[in-house]
Structure 1
Amino acid sequence: MPGRVTRPERDRAGAQPDRPAADATADAWMDTLPQAVLLTEGGLVTRVNAAATRLWGVTQERAAGRPVLEVVRRHTLETLMERGGELELEVGGRTLRCTATHHGVNASLIVEDVTEHRRREAELREATAVLSHEFRTPVAALRGVLEALEYDMPADLAQNFVRQGLQETERLARLVEDLAVGFRPTRARTLPISETFARAERLLTPELTARGSTLRFGQDHLVRADPDKLLQVLLNLIENALKYGPAGQPVEVRTTERGTWVEVAVLDHGAPLHDTESLFRAHTRGQAATGQGSGMGLYIVRSIVHGWGGQAWAERQGDVNAFCFTLPGVSGLG
């Protein structure tokens, strides 16, 4: 009958708008992906999604129909698309994982920013190194105490070993708490630096007594810092001064106001230092270092100080070594 549409004709008529709608849905879906996606056919670009536009600065309209190299502007990626596979690139301080696949004349390139993932991996490696560095000394001391206590000895000597073991156990307990500092959010507040000095002195009393040394602290200042991280820096530097300075000599912690910053210097009477900058690199130890150690202590100090925007360094000042760092100050006490 005139004007009547048969079922096949109606199906075909209804199918016409479905394809563009499906393409639009696919385009919208691709544009939501965080990865940059580039599709080609016969070596020419057919599609780039929104993330790819942001990465390479080329819109879909400009990219369509162009050779791959004109869009990605890197022969490395052009070659990757030709052969397929996966590689990582360092571009502008970012780490990009690039994956290319082939399906006949069609090919695809997916680029994912894995910078944050690699940063977390680096933090995990650093945390492992910190654990190795911080726990090695007290664990070795405890092993020595327990081995000694296996043998018969006078009661007073055995009691002395027990005291040493208890001191090392207390140190391990403090290290467990300190190591958690790096994994907690920064809790900066305004505080008098003398508050942290007092905490450090209490914790270091056994070592000071054993070395016959004393601590002298400089002028008080109001500072802005995470108290736990500031304590961790001070403990590390003062313990180094006790370890490498001559027994019986005082360790001085000097403070100086430098504009809006407060400079803290831990001074010891040890042998003159050489190549002080290298001391702050990971897995580096000074020439006078003895015994076991991973060389991570000063690297940890600098990492923490850089975290609050300060600087950390070492220098020779007259007849003493000075290990210095800066932290934000708050003018005036009270």
Structure 2
Amino acid sequence: MAPDATGRAVGGADHWIDSLPQAVLLTDAGLVTRVNAAAARLWGVPQERASGRPVLEVVRRHTLETLLERGGELELEVTGRTLRCTATRDGRHGALIVEDVTEHRRREAELREATAVLSHEFRTPVAALRGVLEALEYDMPRDLAQNFVRQGLQETERLARLAEDLAVGFRPTRARTLPLAEAFARAERLLTADLSARRASVTFGQDHLVRADPDKLLQVLLNLIENALKYGPPAQPIEVQTHERGTWIEVSVLDRGTPIPDTESLFKAHTRGRTATGQGSGMGLYIVRSIVHGWGGQAWAERRGDANAFCFTLPGVGGIG
């Protein structure tokens, strides 16, 4: 049976309204005629006491009272929750529907953040592929050309995996045991052009067996070494140190840049250092920390002597299981 303007079913019971997850308040000439169970919980007013009272006494917000008078829709932030409020009017009768959309808004924010992260991650393999294609335009020995082709195929695989993540969401990490030297060699190869342009060099510390997603580990290394190239002085060596910390391996990227006053803020999304110049999304270190936290490690920055050290930890094979 269809309900009338007060929400009561004509010729039948109106228990259906109490099964709705949304809070529903019905009015007649400015007085409350009905609140459902969700509304009673939201405003802390028993259903029997709400009937016959002015709207303001029940909802206790002038914003909602005005919304009911005019009709329309708005969102309210109430004690950490996001409420979508919709009001309709039909002559002297009115209805206010309030839906908790906190989780929906949270998922939207996560999707925006994930999109920003993936966009940032796409840049590295795209840049590497551009370099490979530009190199292949020139005549070169067959062995060297084949090496460029292999590198291009490797980066194409990375792009394919990123595209899969973009299509179906983040999947569990593809972790395996690998020597750090493998990731170091891959990062150095991809950064050859940047190192040459900055007349810089990079040295790597002792090798260790670790457990990580090779692509994510590479992304962390590339972000940290690229930052050292951008913000450290030109023609200065970049040092990548490794240390055992119990069952964890600590990797630190050191540059001789000027001291950074507030290192913790650099790891927040869309944040860049005060002295940063040129284009940048401010997502690099946020991505680093997100990836490292994904395998249970820590990421931070500190001053070590005359160098800035950007550090992270990852599981050594001794800590597996």
Per the normalisation by structure 1, the TM-score is 0.70
Give the 3 Å change call, closer, same or farther, for CA 186–66 of structure 1 in structure 2. farther
CA 1:116/1:56 → structure 2, altered by over 3 Å: closer, same or farther?
A: same
Which amino acid in the other structure matches residue 100 of structure 2? D
What is residue 204 of structure 1 aligned with on the other side?
A: 187
Amino acid corresponding to residue 167 of structure 1 in structure 2: Q
* Contact 1:215/1:252 (<8 A) preserved: yes
Task: Kindly provide the amino acid, as one letter, of the partner of residue 241 in structure 1.
Answer: L
Matched residues in 2 for 1:74 and 1:161: separation? Answer: 71
1:88 counterpart (63, 67, 75): 75
Match of 1:4 in 2: none
Matches within 5 A, 1:149-188: 153=138, 155-156=139-140, 163-164=147-148, 166-177=150-161, 183-186=169-172
State, as a whole percentage, how many aligned pairs show the same letter: 59
TM-score where L is the length of structure 2:
0.73
Q: Is the 8 A contact 1:133 1:293 kept in 2?
A: no
Which of 53, 56, 60 aligns to 1:73? It is 60
Cα shift at 1:295: 2.6
Correspondent of 2:254 among 268, 274, 283:
268
Note closer, same or farther for the CA distance 1:100–1:284 as it changes in structure 2 (3 Å cut): same
The answer to whether 1:120 aligns with 2:107 is: yes
1:241 to 207, 224, 231: 224
Following superposition, the deviation at residue 36 of structure 1 comes to: 1.1
Query: Counterpart amino acid of 1:136?
Result: R
- Give distance in 2, aligned partners of 1:294 and 1:300: 11
Query: 1:35 — aligned with what?
Result: 22
SS of residue matched to 2:94? strand
Matched residue of 1:213: which SS?
Answer: strand
Structure with greater helix percent: 1
2:236/2:256 contact within 8 Å kept: no
Structure 1 or 2, whichever has the larger Rg, is 1
Q: Are 2:271 and 1:284 aligned?
A: yes
Cα distance in 2 for partners of 1:262, 1:34 equals: 47
Amino acid at match of 2:36: N
1:283 and 1:71, CA in 2 relative to 1: closer, same or farther beyond 3 A? same
Aligned-residue CA RMSD (Å)? 4.1
- The 2-side partners of 1:73 and 1:307 are apart by 44
Give the CA deviation at 1:100.
0.4
Paired position in structure 1 for 2:232: none
* Conserved? CA contact 1:132–1:294, under 8 Å: no
Q: Secondary structure at the match of 2:98?
A: strand
- Name the CA shift for 1:263/1:319 in 2 (closer, same or farther; >3 Å): farther
Matched, 1:108 2:67: no
CA distance in 2 between counterparts of 1:46 and 1:287 reads 58
Cα distance change on mapping 1:331 and 1:312 into 2, 3 Å: same
> What secondary structure does 1:156 align onto?
coil
Give the equivalent residue in structure 1 for 2:50: 63
